[in-house]
Structure 1
Amino acid sequence: MLTKDVSAEIHAVLTSLNEEGKEPTVALVKGRLSTKVPMPALITVIKSWKATQHIPKVEVAADNRSLSQEARIAALEAQVQQLTTRLEKLENTHG
């Protein structure tokens, strides 16, 4: 599955809220993000931000519709190769 790193976007939202003097909440952060991020991930990020001003890396599933056909094909080919390699290892192990 393709993923998208949204850490920078979340950092920008949290910094913006901080500069505005607003306490970051799940609702405020979620409302300002252009990417859908699961609530448990947002809760973890906000807790980390409040404690250390640090944001852990956050990745969400990439929207395949936004990718070009060539990029989607390349991603699928890479996934097939990974699965083939795993299958070969399993077959060799259980022979």
Structure 2
Amino acid sequence: MLTKNVTEELEAVLQALHDEGKTPSIALVKARLSTPVPMPALISTIKSWKSVKRVPKVEIAANAQPADKIAQLEQQIAALTERVSILEAQLSEKS
């Protein structure tokens, strides 16, 4: 399973909130993240930050198929469908 390390992003968000004088909360942190992080990971990260100003290593499951990969597969399916239609038409002409 592929994972993505979001520790640096979480640390940057928490530090920015601290610099603004705001107390980090799940809602504030979640709103500023560009990557969705599971709730249990957010809770433990915020608890750690509040107690020792340290962010533990947080890894989340990476998306196995990026959007460009899906688009590429859709194009292949369309091309193959067109080829099948042509072959079916040629077969029906011979019959």
Distance 1:62 1:55 in 2: 20
Q: Secondary structure at the match of 2:65?
A: helix
Query: Which letter does structure 2 place at the counterpart of 1:59?
Result: E
Q: Aligned-pair distance for 1:64?
A: 2.3
Which residue of the partner structure matches residue 13 of structure 2?
A: 13
- Give the total of aligned pairs: 69
Larger radius of gyration: 2
Equivalent residue for 2:52?
A: 52
Gapped runs of 5+ residues in structure 1?
Answer: 70-95
Unaligned runs of 5+ in 2: 70-95
Alignment of 1:1-95 (within 5 A): 1-66=1-66
**CA deviation profile, 1:28-77 (whole Å, cap 9, x unmatched):** 000000101011110000000000001100000111233886xxxxxxxx
2-structure distance, mates of 1:61, 1:24: 24
Mapped partners of 2:67, 2:7: distance in 1 = 20
* In 2, Cα distance between equivalents of 1:68 and 1:55: 32
Change (3 A) 1:59 1:45: same
TM-score between the two structures when normalised by the length of structure 1: 0.68
